[in-house]
Amino acid sequence: MKKILIMDDDFSVRESLQELLRGEGFQILWAIDGATGIKTAQNSEPDLILCDLLKSDLDGYQVLSRIRESLATQTIPFIFLSTESELLNFRKAMTLGADDYLTKPFRREDLLAAIKSQFQKKAAFEQKYQTQNFEAINYDQLTGLPNRLLIRQQFENLQNADFLAILCVSLDRFQELKDYFGYEVGESLLKQAVTRFKSVISSQDTLAYLSTNEFLIILTEASNTEETITVTEKVLSVFQPSFSVEEQEFSTTLSIGISFYPEHSREIDLLLKQSHKGKKSAEKKGGNCYHIYQPSLNKCHSDYTITLETDLRYALEKQELVLYYQPRVSLVSGEIVGMEALLRWFHPQLGTISPKQFIPIAEETGLIIPISDWVSEMACQQGKTWQNWLKRPLKMAINFSAQGFQLSDFCERIEAICQRTQFPFSCLELELTESTLVKDFLQAREKLQQLQTLGIDVAIDDFGTGYSSLNYLQQFSFQILKLDRTFVRNSGRDTTNRAIVSSLIQLAHNLQLSVVAEGVERQCELNFLREQNCEEIQGYLFSPPLSAREMEDLLREKRRLPS
C-alpha cells in the first residue's frame, strides 16, 4: 500500500483529502505544520507528498526546499495544493523542485490523475535507474557485452546442460596495434569484433567480454567436440578479412582456447581458467588457431610438435592423410580374409610422420573425431569396392580412440557410414583398446551391445597390456581377441612368451572368441600359432601395410599363406 503525506493547516481540507485518498486505497500520514511534516517525511519515507503553502513557522516553499536538500527525501514526488493561482507562485514552486501544482478548489479526478502521473514517473525513473545500475555493474561499457560477474550468474542457468563448450578468445596482435595506432583504433577493432562474433554464433549462445582483449563464447547448442570445432572454425574464418578503421586497413586473427563442461569441470571459474590456458597455447603457436584444454598443457611442446599441431588441421583437406591396409590371413585356408585400415600422414616438408606422433596430437586437439570419421568412411568405401569384384566377404578392421568411442552418437555414426557406403555390418570390425573402455564402464557395455545387435564385430586390441584384462573379457561383449605383438614376438622360441600366448589363446577359445595375432614376423612364430589353433595372423611375415593399389594387386594375385 502506497503512503501519501498530507501537509495542510486547514482541518477541513485535511479531513476531506484523507477520506478521498483512503477510499482509493492509500495509507495516509498527515501534519499541520512544516517542521512536523519534514520530520514525518524523513522518518516514514512516504511515496508522495501533498503540501499546502502553509502559514506556519515554515511555509510550503521552505518545506519543499528542505525536502529536496535531504538525501532521504529528495526524490519523493511533491505536489503543491494552493489557493494562490498566480503564475508567479507556480513558477516559484516549480523552480524549487515541485512536481506538480494544483489550485484549490480542484476536482477529485484532477487530483487522482496528478497522483497517478507522479507514481508512473517515479516507477519509470526507478526502473531506468535500476536498469542503468544493473548495466553498469554487469556489462562492459565499450562493447555492451556481459562481463565476468554476469557470466557467473548466467552460468547457473546453464548447468543442467549435458554439454557446454567454453571458448576464450583474444585478437592476435591487438596490444601492438593499439599501442602503435592509438586507443581509438583499439576500441573500434573490439566493437567490430563483436559484430563478427555475432554473425557466426547462435542467438542462444553467450558472448561476453571478460577483460582487455579477452572475449568469452559459451556454445550452448553444440553437443560434442566435433560440433564445437565446426563453430570454432567458422569464428576463425570470419576474422580473415581485414578491418577498416578511419580509412585504414588492419589485419588481425584470433587465438582460441576451449574447455568443456562437464568434462573438464563443473565450476565456471575453473572452466574459464582452463580455456584461458588453451588460448595461451594457441598464442604460442602463432595465433589464428584454437587449442582444446588438456591437463598436459603445463608441459612444454617442442617446435616440432607445435608444427605438427598446426599442420595437422589442414592435412585432411590437403589430402596428406592416406589409408594403408595390412592383410589378415586365415591360418585354416591361408587366404586373405580381411585387412586392418592404418592411417599414414605424408607431410610435404617433414615426410612420413608416424601415427605414434600425430595421433596423440589429434586426440589432444579434438581433431581425432573428424579424422576418425574420414578413416571409417574411406575404409568402408574401399572395402565395398574390393568385395564387389572379389564377390566374397572381406573384413575391414578400424581402430577407434577413446574420444570417438565416447561420443553419445558413436553407434549411430558407424551405422550411418555403413549405410552410405553399403558396406555390410557383418564385415566391419571395430578395434578398441582396454584403456578406451575403462572411461565409462556402463556406457561402454551398452554401446558394445548395440554394435552386436547391428551385427558389427568388436575386437579387444592390445589385449593383456593394461588394466584388468580378464575382468573386461567377462564384462563386455567381444567377438575377437587380438594378441599384442609384445607377446607374439619370439613366441616360437621364448618359453615364457610361448606359455603366455598358449594360455591366452586357450582362454579366448573357452570364451568363444576368435584370435588374431598381430606382429607375426618369423616362420617359427607362425608355426607355433598354428599349433595353438590361432584363427588369423597379420604381420610382416606375410605382408607389410600396403597402399590401396598395392593391396588390390595382392588380392588379384590371390596370394595365400603357404601351408
User: How high does pLDDT run on average in the chain?
Assistant: 87
DSSP string, 377-412: HHHHHHHHHHHHHHTS--EEEEE--HHHHTSTTHHH
Query: Which of 257, 273, 347 lies closest to 304 in space, CA to CA?
Result: 347
Map grid coordinates 583437406 to a residue.
317
Residue 505 has pLDDT above 50, yes or no: yes
Comparing 123 with 368, the larger pLDDT belongs to 368
Query: Who contacts 392 (Cβ-Cβ below 8 Å, separation ≥6)?
Result: none
The reported pLDDT for the residue numbered 134 is 58
CA 415 to chain centre: 26
* Burial label, 10 (beta-carbon count in 10 A; 0-12, 13-18, 19+): middle
Look up residue 513 and give its three cell numbers: 572368441
- Distance (Å, whole) CA 208 – CA 145: 5
* Burial label, 491 (beta-carbon count in 10 A; 0-12, 13-18, 19+): buried
C-alpha dist (Å) from residue 464 to 485, 489, 501, 505: 11, 14, 10, 12
Question: pLDDT-derived band of residue 491, with 50, 70 and 90 as boundaries?
Answer: confident
Residue 325 has pLDDT above 80, yes or no: yes
Cβ 327 vs Cβ 339: under 8 Å: yes
Query: Which of 259, 146, 276 lies closest to 208 in space, CA to CA?
Result: 146
Look up residue 287 and give its three cell numbers: 595465433
Cβ 425 vs Cβ 455: under 8 Å: yes
Residue 37: half-sphere exposure toward Cβ, Cα within 13 Å = 31
Q: Is the dihedral of CA 244, 245, 249, 254 positive or negative?
A: negative
Cβ 231 vs Cβ 254: under 8 Å: no
Phi and psi at residue 472, to the nearest 5°:
-70, -35
The reported pLDDT for the residue numbered 298 is 44
Strand partners for 198: none
Question: 134-166: per-residue pLDDT in tens?
Answer: 566 778 888 989 988 888 888 888 888 999 999
Helix ranges (H only) for 319-367 are 355-365
Look up residue 382 and give its three cell numbers: 574401399
The reported pLDDT for the residue numbered 23 is 92
The percentage of residues in the chain with a pLDDT greater than 90, rounded to a whole number, is 48
Cβ 278 vs Cβ 259: under 8 Å: yes
Question: 362-390: per-residue pLDDT in tens?
Answer: 888 788 999 999 999 999 999 999 999 99
CA 559 to chain centre: 51
Question: pLDDT-derived band of residue 82, with 50, 70 and 90 as boundaries?
Answer: confident
β pairing state of 254-261 and 164-171: antiparallel
Question: 468-488: per-residue pLDDT in tens?
Answer: 456 666 677 889 999 888 788
Cβ 484 vs Cβ 518: under 8 Å: yes
Query: Who contacts 433 (Cβ-Cβ below 8 Å, separation ≥6)?
Result: 402, 460, 461, 462, 466
What value does the mean pLDDT take over residues 271-290? 88
- Distance (Å, whole) CA 216 – CA 226: 19
Helix ranges (H only) for 139-182 are 148-155, 174-181
Q: Residue type for 390, please?
A: L
Residue 262 has pLDDT above 50, yes or no: yes
Identify the three-state secondary structure at position 142. coil
Query: Who contacts 87 (Cβ-Cβ below 8 Å, separation ≥6)?
Result: none
Map grid coordinates 549435458 to a residue.
162
The reported pLDDT for the residue numbered 341 is 97
- pTM recorded for the entire structure: 0.49
CA 281 to chain centre: 18
DSSP string, 507-535: HHHHTT-EEEEE---SHHHHHHHHHTT--
- What domains sit in the chain, N to C, each tagged with a CATH number? 3-137 (3.40.50.2300), 148-300 (3.30.70.270), 309-556 (3.20.20.450)
Strand partners for 257: 168, 291
The reported pLDDT for the residue numbered 398 is 97
- Min mean pLDDT across 152-161, 305-314, 517-526 is at 305-314
Q: At what angle do helices 368-390 and 410-421 cross, to 10 degrees?
A: 40
